[in-house]
Structure 1
Amino acid sequence: MAAAPFSTLAAAFDAAAAQAGDLSCLVVPARAERGYLPDGLDWSYAETAERVERLAEAYAARGYGAGHRVALLLENRPEFMLHFLALIRLGACTVPVNPDYRAEDLAFLLAHSEADLAIALPDRCDGLAAVSAGVPDGAPVIPSDRFADALPQARRPAAGGAPDEDSPGALLYTSGTTGMPKGCLLSNAYFLFAGRRYLEAGGAMQVRPEAERLYNPLPLFYANSLGISNPAMILSRNAMIFPDRFHPRSWWQDLVQTRATIIHYLGIVAPVLLAAPPCDAERAHHVRFGVGAGLDPAQHDAFERRFGFPMIEVWGMSEVGIATAANHEPRGIDSRTIGRPLPGIELSVVDDADRPVADGGEGELLLRRAGAEPRKGLFAGYWKDEAVTAEAWRGGWFHTGDIVRRAPDGLYHFVDRKKHMIRRSGQNIAAAEVEACLRGHPAVAEVAVLAVPDELRDEEVLACLVPRAGHVPDAALAQEVVGHALGRLAYFKAPGWVLFLDELPLTATQKLRKSAIFAAGEDPRQRAGMYDCRAQKQRRAR
C-alpha cells in the first residue's frame, strides 16, 4: 500500500479545504420534526474549515493542546466533527460520549479517561455536570451553544511539540467481556491507514475522488464513522452526510434529497426497509453501494434486486478498523461471509493454542498489518491497561476473539464470538456489566446474561435469574428487574428477555456454565416461562 501523503488527519483536512474548498464536506438532511437544523445544511470544505479554525483558536487561547482529553456529548450533530477536527489539529484527544449512557456509564468514562474538559448539548449539560461533580478531579462541563464564552482555562499545561502520526486523536470506549468498557486509543496513523484501506478496497467498493456523498446513520461515537469512513471521505475530498439516526420512513427521501452515492448500514436496516411498501424514492436515488455488517444472507439478494445496488458486508472492530470486505466476486452473499482482507492487512485462523487451522476449519481470527510494523496504524492500545493490550497482541498478532472459517476460495466466514459478548444493533454489550447491575436488585440471587437471536437487531440481551426466597418469579418481577437495569444502564444494555430458573448450572469448581443453560440448537425464546420485555427497552426522552 502506498504511504499516505499526510502525517495527521488535520493536514489531510486542511489540504482538502485548500484544494477543493467548494465541494460539500458536512451535510445534514432536512427533517422538520428534528430539534435542530430542521432545514438541514450543506457546508463546503472551505466553510467547515473556517468553523474548525475558529474553534481551534479558542481552544489554543485557553491553553488546550497536546496531551489533553476532551469529552464530547454532541450526538450526531455537525458540532461534533467541528470540535473533533479542531482538537486533533492541536494534538488533543477527543473522548466521544454515547448519548444513551446513564450516570454510572458516564461517571466511569469521565474518571477513566481523565478528561480535562467536557462539552455537552445544552439539555445534557446539567446532568453531565452533576455526574462529573461526583468524580475525583471531575472535568468542567460547558454547553456547546456557549462554548466561546464558557470555555475555561486548561487546568494543566499542554505538552510541547507538533502533532504527528503517533499523536492520539480519539479515545473510544468499547465494551469488554469482563466488566466496564475498555478505552481504545486511536492515533492519526489509525485514521490515515483506515481511510486509505477503505479507498483502496476497489471492486464493488470503488470510491471516486471528489464525487461521492456518504450517508452514514451510524453514531459518531463508533469507530465506523469517526475513525474509518470520515477519514476516507476527507482523504478523497468527498461529503459526509449525518442524519441523527436511522429513520426508516424517511430513509429513501433522505438519500434522494442529499444526493447520497454511498450508504453505511447495520443488519437492522435491510429487514425494516424490505418490509416497507414500495415507494418511488427507493429507485430514484443515486446510491452506488452500501457498506456494513449483519445483513441476513436470506435477505441479501432480495435487497439488492429491489433497491438496485450491492450491499458490501465487511468485518471490523474499533481496535483495527474495517479489515475485510466482500467487495470482489464471488461475494458469497448467501452466507455469513466477511469477505477477504483489505489492502495492507494479514489474517490468520488459529486454534486455542494459536496454531494455524487449515482451510475449512474453525478458529479464532488473528490480524496484523502487513510488513515490518504489524501494529502500525491499528489501535495504539487500551488506555491504562498495558497487560490487556499485550495479551491481545501476543505473538505479534491481534487476537480478535471472533471465530471464523476460511474457505478454499479465500472468503472468510463468520461463525461465532469467542468472548461472552452481545451485539445488539451494532452496540457491543458486556454480559458481565449487565450481570453486575442485576445482582444489585434485592430479588436477584444469581444471574447469567447471554445473547439470544433477534431478527431485527442481530442479538438481544437475555437475563436468566434465580430469585431470592420470598420473591415470586412472575411477569411483574421480570418487568421490575428490567426497570432496575433501565435506571442504571444505557437502554440497549437492559434485558429484553427474562427467564427465571431454580438454579444455574455450575462446574465442579463452582464456575457458571452458560453453555449448559439451553440445549444445543434450542431457541431460548421458546422456553416455557420466558418473559418478553423488549417493549420496555425504549430510548428515553431527555
Structure 2
Amino acid sequence: MDSVFDAFMATAAAAPDHVFLVAPPAPGRAYHPDGVELTYGEVRAGVLELRDVYAAAGFGHGHRVALLLENRPEFFFHYLALNALGCGIVPINPDYRHDEMLYQMEHSEAAVVVSIASRLADLEAVARARARPLPVVSAERRPLALPGPGATPRAGRPGLDTECSLLYTSGTTGRPKGCVLTNFYYLNAGAWYRDLGGRLAIEPGRERFYNPLPLFHMNCQAVTATCAMLTANGLILPERFSPGRWWRDIAVTRATIVHYLGVVPPLLLNQPPAPEERQPRVKFGFGAGVEPELHERFEKRFGFPLVEVWGMTETGRIYADHREPRQIATRAFGRPFGGFDARVVDDHDRAVARGTEGELVVRWSGPEGPRHGFFAGYLKNPEATAEAWRGGWFHTGDVVRQAADGMLYFVDRKKNIIRRAGENIAAAEVEATLQAHEAVAQVAVLAVPDEIREEEVMACVVPMAGATPGRALAEGLFEWCLQRLAYFKAPGWLLFVPSLPTTGTQKVQKAQIFPRGEDPRARPGAIDLRERKKRRAPPA
C-alpha cells in the first residue's frame, strides 16, 4: 500500500462492519450530542463521495487543504478523501486566533480552508489579510462549494513520499515550524505502535482507542488513527480531555486503550472516587509525563498500567517502557530497539558516559539511511532541518540519561534547565515535587534572573480548590520541597495564579505566562523565598 487511504480501504474491504469512529455522547455539543458510532463501511461511503467532489473541483497531487474541524469524526472523511488524491492536509488548532491562523495559512500556502460554521467569519478575516487569495468553505454545507485550486503542483501518482500532512510544532521561541509528514511516515508510525507488544499488545479487531488529544497532533491523528486502520480497530474522539467526563466516556464507548498526557493522572486522582472509575475493559494507558510520585497511586486506584512512552512529531517512532518490570518510580521511557537508535551527547555532540545527563539524539540505523521514517523536513526552513540533523542524528532537545542496561530516563527539555550558581536544575523535577502536594492543582517552574546566582527557580502555582494562596502556603510548599530536594532546587520565588496557559495538548506554555520583557519577580503577589534557601544538614 502506498498511502493512508490505501490502508483504510483495505480494512474497509476486509472488515466493513467493524466500528472505526466514535464520538461519545455530550449533551449540548454542536455535533453528535447523542454520540455516534460509524463503521468502516459507512466512513468509506462518505470518503469516496468527498473524494469525487474534491477531484471534480480540480484538487490533486501536491495541493494543501487546511481543515478546522475540531475533533469531529467528519475530519477523517475530508482527510482520507484528500489523501486519496495526493493532497496534504493542514489541521488548524481550533483555539488559534487571528494572528496564529494567518501565519499558518500564509506559511503553508493552503489552497483552501474547510471549516466548521462557527469559525467561518474568523477565517474569512484571515483570508482578507492574506496576500494570496484563500477561499473559505463551510464543511457543513451540502453540496460542498469548492473553488478550483489551480494547477496540480506534482505530477505522477501519489505514493509513499507524498505529503500526507503539515503539522505545526509549538515552538518555545519564534513561530511554530511546519513538519512535512509523508504517507510513509504515517504508515510506519501506525505499524510501529501496532507491533510494540509487551504491555502495549494490540489485538486486531478487538480494541477501541480513547484518545482525547487533538487531531492537529501526531499522537492521535498519525500514530493512533493509523494504527487503528491497520488493525481494524476503533478510534474514540472526545472533543477534549475532561476529568469529569473521562470515566463516563470510557464506560459508554467501551474503550480498551486510553491515551494520556502528564496533566491527566493528577486531575483524575483529584476527582472523588466514583463507581465507574474501575473499568475492567481498559488494558493500558499510553502516554508520557506522569509524575513518578503519582504513577503507582494511579495504577492501584484505577486498576490498569500507565505505560510511559517517548516520541516527537519529527520522529514518528516511539520508545516505551512496556516490558515488565516497568520502572514506574522513575521517568523511564524505554530502551532503543528495532533499529531506532539513540545516543546521549554533550553540547559539542560528543557521547557522554552512561548515567550522565545530556541531549537525546536519535536516528534510524538501517540501510535506508538515518532519516528513514522521520519527518521529511521543516517547510521552507532547510537551515533548521539541517541543524536538527547535524552529524546524522536528529537532535531532540530533550535532556536524558541512559543507564548501563540501556534504559533511558527523561530529565527535562533542554531549554527547561535552570542554571543557578553553577548547578543545573531540571524544572520538571521541581514541578513533579510540587505537583505531589495536596494543595497544588497545577504548576509551572521556570528560570528568572538573579543578580548574584545568574538564575533562580520560580514556581507558578495554581492552588487546589479550598487551598488559601498566600505567604503561609508558599512557605509550606517551600518546606515540602526542602524535605525532598537539594536546597538549591527549592523555589526562590513563588507566585499563585488562577490558571496556566496550555496548548491544545494540555502542555503548559511557559513562554506565555508572562509577557515578553516583563520581570516575573516584579509581578504583584510574587513571594520572595530566597532568604529561606540555605543549605541544611540532612536529617539524622
Which secondary structure does the structure 1 equivalent of 2:281 belong to? coil
Q: 1:393 to 1:72 in 2, by over 3 A?
A: same
- Across the aligned residues of Structure 1 and Structure 2, the Cα RMSD in angstroms comes to 3.1
Deviation at 1:500, TM superposition (A): 12
Of 330, 334, 339, the match for 2:334: 339
The residue that corresponds to 1:394 in the other structure is 390
Q: TM-score, normalised by structure 2?
A: 0.80
Of 62, 65, 76, the match for 2:60: 65
Of 391, 401, 405, the match for 1:405: 401
Of 277, 281, 287, the match for 1:292: 287
Deviation per residue, 1:483-542 (Å, 9 max, x gap): 9x99xxx997587755999979xxxxxxxxxxxx99xxxxx975379xxxxxxxxxxxxx
Confirm or deny: 8 A CA contact 1:341 1:347 kept in the other structure: yes
Amino acid at match of 1:97: I
Confirm or deny: 8 A CA contact 1:346 1:367 kept in the other structure: yes
Amino acid at match of 1:369: W
Which secondary structure does the structure 2 equivalent of 1:321 belong to? coil
Q: Residues 96-245 of structure 1: matches in 2 within 5 Å?
A: 96-146=91-141, 148-245=143-240
Amino acid at match of 1:383: L
Matched, 1:305 2:300: yes
Deviation at 1:323, TM superposition (A): 1.9
| Percent of paired sites with the same residue | 46
Confirm or deny: 8 A CA contact 1:68 1:93 kept in the other structure: yes
Deviation at 1:267, TM superposition (A): 1.1
The residue that corresponds to 1:52 in the other structure is 47
Unaligned runs of 5+ residues in structure 2 are: 419-426, 436-440, 451-494, 531-540
Deviation at 1:405, TM superposition (A): 0.2
Amino acid at match of 1:90: L
Deviation per residue, 1:180-214 (Å, 9 max, x gap): 00000000110011111111111100011111100
Q: 1:500 to 1:50 in 2, by over 3 A?
A: closer
Deviation per residue, 1:291-349 (Å, 9 max, x gap): 00111111101111111111011111110124211101232110112222353411111
Amino acid at match of 1:313: E
Matched residues in 2 for 1:412 and 1:268: separation? 22
The residue that corresponds to 1:527 in the other structure is 528
The residue that corresponds to 1:443 in the other structure is none
Amino acid at match of 1:414: F
Matched, 1:29 2:30: no
Matched, 1:327 2:322: yes
Confirm or deny: 8 A CA contact 1:462 1:497 kept in the other structure: no
The residue that corresponds to 1:357 in the other structure is 352
Any runs of at least 4 consecutive aligned residues in structure 1 with deviations exceeding 6 A, and if so which? 460-465, 499-504
Q: 1:344 to 1:54 in 2, by over 3 A?
A: farther
Confirm or deny: 8 A CA contact 2:444 2:510 kept in the other structure: no
Residues 493-502 or 62-71, more deviating: 493-502
Confirm or deny: 8 A CA contact 1:463 1:498 kept in the other structure: no
Confirm or deny: 8 A CA contact 2:90 2:165 kept in the other structure: yes
The residue that corresponds to 1:12 in the other structure is 7
Q: Residues 359-378 of structure 1: matches in 2 within 5 Å?
A: 359-372=354-367, 373-378=369-374
Matched residues in 2 for 1:408 and 1:23: separation? 45
Q: 1:180 to 1:384 in 2, by over 3 A?
A: same
The residue that corresponds to 2:375 in the other structure is 379
Confirm or deny: 8 A CA contact 1:255 1:285 kept in the other structure: no
Confirm or deny: 8 A CA contact 2:279 2:302 kept in the other structure: no
Deviation per residue, 1:20-69 (Å, 9 max, x gap): 11101011111113221011111111111111111111000000011101
Q: 1:500 to 1:136 in 2, by over 3 A?
A: closer
Matched residues in 1 for 2:144 and 2:309: separation? 44
Amino acid at match of 2:134: A
Q: 1:202 to 1:463 in 2, by over 3 A?
A: same
Confirm or deny: 8 A CA contact 1:204 1:289 kept in the other structure: yes
Q: 1:405 to 1:153 in 2, by over 3 A?
A: same
Q: 1:130 to 1:310 in 2, by over 3 A?
A: same
Matched residues in 2 for 1:259 and 1:290: separation? 14
Q: 1:87 to 1:503 in 2, by over 3 A?
A: closer
Q: 1:392 to 1:135 in 2, by over 3 A?
A: same
Amino acid at match of 2:388: A
Matched residues in 2 for 1:84 and 1:320: separation? 21
Matched residues in 2 for 1:217 and 1:55: separation? 26
Confirm or deny: 8 A CA contact 1:189 1:376 kept in the other structure: no
Of 261, 265, 273, the match for 2:268: 273
Which secondary structure does the structure 2 equivalent of 1:317 belong to? coil
Amino acid at match of 1:359: R
Matched residues in 2 for 1:213 and 1:249: separation? 20
Which secondary structure does the structure 2 equivalent of 1:162 belong to? coil
Matched, 1:416 2:412: yes
Matched residues in 2 for 1:230 and 1:285: separation? 23
The residue that corresponds to 2:486 in the other structure is none
Deviation at 1:249, TM superposition (A): 1.4
Which secondary structure does the structure 2 equivalent of 1:148 belong to? coil
Q: 1:491 to 1:202 in 2, by over 3 A?
A: closer
Q: 1:525 to 1:238 in 2, by over 3 A?
A: farther
Residues 148-157 or 175-184, more deviating: 148-157
Deviation at 1:177, TM superposition (A): 4.0
Total equivalences in the alignment: 461
Q: 1:281 to 1:221 in 2, by over 3 A?
A: same
Confirm or deny: 8 A CA contact 1:323 1:341 kept in the other structure: no
Deviation at 1:394, TM superposition (A): 1.2
Confirm or deny: 8 A CA contact 1:268 1:295 kept in the other structure: yes
Matched residues in 2 for 1:500 and 1:369: separation? 39
Unaligned runs of 5+ residues in structure 1 are: 1-5, 423-449, 466-478, 505-516, 519-523, 530-542
Q: 1:65 to 1:237 in 2, by over 3 A?
A: same
Confirm or deny: 8 A CA contact 2:24 2:249 kept in the other structure: yes
Matched residues in 1 for 2:373 and 2:516: separation? 46
The residue that corresponds to 1:442 in the other structure is none
Matched residues in 1 for 2:16 and 2:167: separation? 30
Q: TM-score, normalised by structure 1?
A: 0.79
Larger RCO, structure (CA 8 Å, separation 6 or more): 1
Confirm or deny: 8 A CA contact 1:357 1:363 kept in the other structure: yes
The residue that corresponds to 2:483 in the other structure is none
Amino acid at match of 2:378: Y
Confirm or deny: 8 A CA contact 2:12 2:44 kept in the other structure: yes
